[in-house]
Amino acid sequence: MSDVRATAITDAEWLHGRLELARRLYGPAPARVLGTVWWYSASSVLVAPPLESLVASGVALDPALDAITLRIQPDGRLLGAASSRPFAGDVIELGAAYGAALRPAISCVAEACGARERSLWAIAADSIGNRLLWAGQAAGDVERAIALAGPLAEGIGDVTGEVMPRPRFLRVGPHTVVRRVSCCLIDKATGQEKCTSCPNQHPDVRTDRIRAALGA
């Protein structure tokens, strides 16, 4: 296991090494698929520390790449992340800081694997939504947590324009879930079935699969 500063995501050589490790995990899929699968995991880990801290304590941590350390297994899988300093600013300003951090990361991942930047931004939106939801569940206040999605997206948009969709949520029975706007392409890498919540299926099929998974 190793700790790596998140600025490594902007290093082309390091990213190509991630793709090679992903190929060992998932097989000989195209670089675009492997890079998308990797970013789906990496973005979730990358955005987590500031959001978890904000929801739990009311004080965010800094999402800047030079503040985030990634914990990585030898096979390339990401286990978690930590931020080294608190963030001084409101939620919209935190969103702007996320935008400043995610923009170069996404640009470099797209260049390394050939994925469209808009697809990677959509994955980032779902990662933010999921992390807010999970942090809200842990804190016992889901509504307060997911209400942060709007101002965060506004702040990101102030830096990047309208490239990232706003994280969306859906009620399924008594449960709140993220209404995903992105596809991780794991089915393209492994040949397995699409994820339960994948948006690339008929909405009725997706809803039925989510209900069955939640027992709702």
**Can you give the pLDDT at residue 192?**
85
Query: What does the DSSP assignment read for the chain?
Result: -EEEEGGGGG-HHHHHHHHHHHHHHH-S--HHHHHHHHHHHHHHHHHHHHHHHHHHHS-PBP--TTTEEEEE-TTS-EEEEEESSB--S-HHHHHHHHHHHHHHHHHHHHHHH---HHHHHHHHHHHHHHHHHHHHHHHT-HHHHHTTHHHHHHHHHHHH-S-SPPP-EEEETTEEEE-------HHHHH--PPPTT-SSS-HHHHHHHHHHHHT-
Using CA atoms, how far residue 118 sits from 112, 156, 176, 212, in Å, is 15, 14, 25, 31
Residue type, 181: V
Residue 79 sits at φ, ψ, to 5 deg, of -100, -25
**Can you give the pLDDT at residue 88?**
94
Structure tokens at 165: 């969709």
**Can you give the pLDDT at residue 154?**
97
Q: Give the torsion sign (CA, 214, 120, 164, 94).
A: positive
**Can you give the pLDDT at residue 85?**
97
**Can you give the pLDDT at residue 132?**
98
**Can you give the pLDDT at residue 162?**
87
**Can you give the pLDDT at residue 216?**
74
Residues near 168 by beta carbon (within 8 Å), at least 6 away in sequence: 129, 149, 178, 179, 181
Written as tens digits, the pLDDT of the chain (216 aa) is 899 999 999 999 999 999 999 999 998 899 999 999 999 999 999 999 999 999 999 999 999 999 999 999 999 999 999 999 999 999 999 999 999 999 999 999 999 999 999 999 999 999 999 999 999 999 999 999 999 999 999 999 999 998 999 999 999 989 999 999 999 999 988 888 899 999 999 989 999 999 999 987
CATH architecture of 2-166: Orthogonal Bundle (1.10)
Residue linked to tokens 């195209």: 30
Residue 128 sits at φ, ψ, to 5 deg, of -65, -45
**Can you give the pLDDT at residue 60?**
98
**Can you give the pLDDT at residue 27?**
87
**Can you give the pLDDT at residue 191?**
85
- CA gap 210, 216 in Å, rounded: 8
